[in-house]
Structure 1
Amino acid sequence: MDFSVPQERKLVTAIPGPNSVALQERRVASVSRGAGTLANIYMDHGSGAILVDVDGNQLIDLGCGIGVTTIGHAHPEVAAAAAAQASKLTHTLFTVTPYENYVRVAEKLAEVTPGDFEKHSILVNSGAEAVENAVKIARRFTGRRVIVSLDHAFHGRTNLTMAMTYRPWPERAGMGPFPGDLFSVPTSYPFRDGLSGEEAAARTIDYIETHIGASEVAAFFAEPIQGDGGIVIPAPGYFAAIKRFCEENGILFVADEIQAGIARTGAWYSIEHHGGVIPDLVTSAKGIAGGFPLAAVTGRADVMDAVQPGGIGGTFGGNPVSTAAALAVFEIIERDGLLAEAQRVERTILGRIGDWPERFGVVGEVRGKGAMIGVELVKPGTRDPNPAALTAILTHATTNGVIALDAGSWDSVLRFLPSVVISDALIDDAMGVLEEGLATL
């Protein structure tokens, strides 16, 4: 594709520059501090894998707004599709007077989500809203109330989804009380537990049976690759055993693909890396519309249709402009072979930094799939988390023109979620900057 910004890192001021500093002063005076920011660098425009700040600095973006701009910043075809739709129709509300775009997105989701059964979808605004609706649908279908999620999970920031999210700080602190009938259970975390997939699944199942009761559970929610939890990939066989347990006990298996889905991991959905496991429901968001607000719940038609008309929906969910953008995103991914490009990104990054655990004492493990990579930082000679090292690395990266992300329940995982169109040269440059930071620790 053609890029409107040269795909190179270029610094023309110190970071943050004077215009960013001035904007930060205005922000402090007018924006709630609860909307925290990783780096107080204010952006003006972007293209591909490069962001340009208000001072003219060009930064390599390894974050994509936490996995949203998978196909690149300000993709011209997505922008054109949204603009064309905005000139025709911006809103009617699908549940009042419907429109074709919503139907076309639902048709596409039925095509690309795992499983060859009949599927239906509902479109909403955000990942958290998708998870909330999946909970409602699962409870309505099963007649049960209990929802199970995994340790280290992140499912959102609404009251319900915060209660399903593992880490208490900063998302949940002081925000309760939370809804009941929500349980967090042990997961598979190979770097930390050393268990096989089958052993970890047995531990999870034992916890459900002895602490909750399988007959009480409506749905088992899982991120097939945990994002905010630290790019945690359960051991092979884990989800296959969990899915068998769910089927045997009338429990719906829900794949939360909000961060890992829509081509990010080299497959349409990250559950595809887990040996043919087919979810009953899938949640999608983030990368689905190239930066426009859109999310979805897709699943078995009998499950999705268990809800009475009017039981799910919302004013802006699946609005005409966001759905037009999503249709362009689907077309671009297929036409430009972006699943293969995500696989290229994985090969390039892991080929470049796979030896970091041998070279740097603070690196415990490098892991990931596609354009979703985690570097777990530890205190040298141990597996103890090292959040101070992560803070130092992120500070070094941002001041040198590389935007990376934090992750992990102990704030000790360096997370990369770059666009799948990022070049090998940009990857090499960004990793060089990060290596400089690692060498100073």
Structure 2
Amino acid sequence: MKSINIRTAIPGPKSKELAKEKEQAVARGISTAYPIVTVKGEGAVLTDIDGNSYLDLASGISSLNVGHSPKPVVDALKIQLDSFINPIFNVALHKPYIDLAKKLNQIIPGSFQKKSVFFNSGAEAIENAVKIARRYTGRKGIISFDRSFHGRTMLAMTLTGRVNSIKRGFGPLASDIHHAPYPYYYKDERTDEQLLAELRRLFQVSVPPEEVAAIVLEPVQGDGGIIIPSKRFIQEIRAICDEFGIVFIADEIQTGFGRTGRMFAMEHFDCAADLTVMSKSIAAGLPLSAITGREEIINFPDVKELGGTLSGNTLACVAALEVIQMIENENLLKRANEIGHFIKEKLSFDSKHIGEIRQIGAMIGIEIVLDKQSKASHRSFVNDVVTKCFEKGVLFMRAADGDVIRLLPPLVITDEQLHEAMSVIADTIKELERI
């Protein structure tokens, strides 16, 4: 098996120098997980300025499901650049915007008439989905869930069900936002029935259902730790929305475009949201987000009540059309499931610190615990695994509050690369447990 090319100390001298420049020029609030400077990305491999290569199992936090610099996307962008960059859709139409809207209307779950609208980021799309729901229902209240992550703009931050590194010190937050408990079957023994009862209790103690415009949820919580709810839980949320005329908003920003082994995670639960929010992997790393939903809801805002100067930029729409075609043509949904099953099998060895492996498609969360009896968090061990694997050329992210190893490999990763990456992770965990 051919190893990845680790040639110098990590991080190397050129990366260290640019990291110093970053400290001088870039606001402290922007974090970077690894102190390396990228000069090339191809498929599942990143190469830094010092000549080191890494297997990237972070995929831009699932922004790069089709890998770094996929050739069909790059070729399509070059052709588009020779014609025009972006006329601004608010000024003049362009075909890629309309073509992408038509495609999303076809592939988003739900057997109803749909329309789409585009923005720049996931947080921006979440905020606009809430705007649409409030405009349509004439109500103010929004319900989201514990441990959720919906973005860092003011309303998206308020919707997010975590405080550390998200909300602290940024108040006052947006009003009329209410949080309900979300399943966490490994550490929270409450049943779906109990969790749903607590959601309904909000209608008694916090906000009456006739004042709730929308319920917003991630079908699988990503930043929260790869938390996968039951089909019953999601279907009951759908039923509650139907019962009270509440708009169901699915945040598919991290789960969309093949990550979970389906094009969209809601397909696992045999029900559809009213509004589906997308970003990240929609355009192979270019800035783009989308809302696709029921025509009568998404079409309710009047002309000029939605938009943004750079929303739905031409290049990103061109990229998105190629991404969807790649997923379909290269059978990447099947590949996502193969990747996920392989990872779970390779990491399911006897370990005193691996409490649980949660896997849906190529979305994997490894819960690291101090011991399996207490299930207490063991963040220092996670940090050690991340650091040691980085030194061996494998990159991935943490989730939750640093308790969970999160693996989001590109769906184009080769068998050889995947085998090597899993060997590094498994060997590292075993080595650290022997210390």
Give the TM-score taking structure 1 as reference length.
0.95
Unaligned runs of 5+ residues in structure 2 are none
Contact 1:218–1:252, Cα closer than 8 Å, also in 2 = yes
Q: Could you say which residue in structure 1 is the equivalent of 2:200?
A: 205
State how far apart, in whole Å, the 2-side matches of 1:195 and 1:271 are.
Answer: 23
Distance 1:365 1:301 in 2: 41
Give the match for residue 393 of structure 2. Answer: 401
1:204, distance to aligned residue in structure 2 (A)? 2.4
Structure-2 separation of matches of 1:435 and 1:353: 6
> Does structure 2 retain, via aligned residues, the 8 Å contact 1:164–1:182?
yes
* CA distance in 1 between partners of 2:243 and 2:365 (Å): 34
Deviations 1:224-283 (A, max 9, x none): 001100000012310111110110001111110000011111101011111x11100000
In the alignment, structure 1 residue 280 sits paired with structure 2 residue 274 = yes
- Per the TM alignment, residue 346 of structure 1 is displaced from its structure 2 partner at its CA by 1.2
Identify the range of structure 1 (120-129 vs 205-214) with the bigger mean alpha-carbon deviation: 205-214
| Aligned equivalent of 1:411, options 399, 402, 406 | 402
- Describe how 1:358-437 pairs up with structure 2 within 5 A: 359-380=350-371, 381-408=373-400, 410-437=401-428
Listed as ranges, the matches of 1:327-338 within 5 Å are: 327-338=321-332
Once the two structures are TM-superposed, the CA of residue 354 in structure 1 deviates from its matched residue by 2.7
| In 2, Cα distance between equivalents of 1:29 and 1:192 | 42
Q: 1 CA distance for matches of 2:109 and 2:314?
A: 26
Which residue of the partner structure matches residue 143 of structure 2? 148
Question: Any residues of structure 2 matched to 1:80-95 within 5 Å, and which?
Answer: 80-95=75-90
Match of residue 73 from structure 1: 68
Aligned to 1:181: 176
Following superposition, the deviation at residue 377 of structure 1 comes to 0.9
Question: In structure 2, what is the equivalent of residue 3 of structure 1?
Answer: none
Q: Is the 8 A contact 2:178 2:206 kept in 1?
A: no
Q: Secondary structure at the match of 1:379?
A: coil
Q: Give the letter aligned to residue 319 of structure 1.
A: N
- Whole-angstrom CA distance in 2 between matches of 1:315 and 1:137: 18
Q: Distance in 2 between matches of 1:346 and 1:208?
A: 39
* Residue matched to 1:293: 287
Higher alpha-carbon deviation: 29-38 or 380-389: 380-389
- Counterpart of 2:37 in structure 1 is 42
Is the Cα contact below 8 Å between 1:198 and 1:241 reproduced in 2?
Answer: no
Q: Distance in 2 between matches of 1:208 and 1:283?
A: 25
Q: How many residues align?
A: 431
- Matched letter for residue 18 of structure 2: L
Q: Normalised by the size of structure 2, how large is the TM-score?
A: 0.96
Instruction: State, as a whole percentage, how many aligned pairs show the same letter.
Output: 38
Aligned to 2:105: 110
Cα offsets for 1:68-110 (capped at 9, x unmatched): 1101110011011112112211121112211111111101111
Determine helix, strand or coil for the equivalent of 2:186: helix
Contact 1:71–1:419, Cα closer than 8 Å, also in 2? yes
Question: SS at the partner of 1:212?
Answer: coil
The equivalent position to 2:320 in structure 1, one of 316, 321, 326, is: 326
**CA RMSD of superposed structures (Å):** 1.4
Q: 1:351 aligns with which of 338, 345, 349?
A: 345
1:342 to 336, 339, 363: 336
2:296 to 294, 302, 309: 302
| Distance in 1 separating the partners of 2:279 and 2:285 | 10
Letter in 1 for 2:47: V
Counterpart of 1:389, as a letter, is F
Partner secondary structure for residue 374 of structure 1:
strand
Deviations 1:141-196 (A, max 9, x none): 00000111111100001011011112211122221211110111111111122344
SS of equivalent to 2:231: coil
Deviation at 1:8, TM superposition (A): 4.9
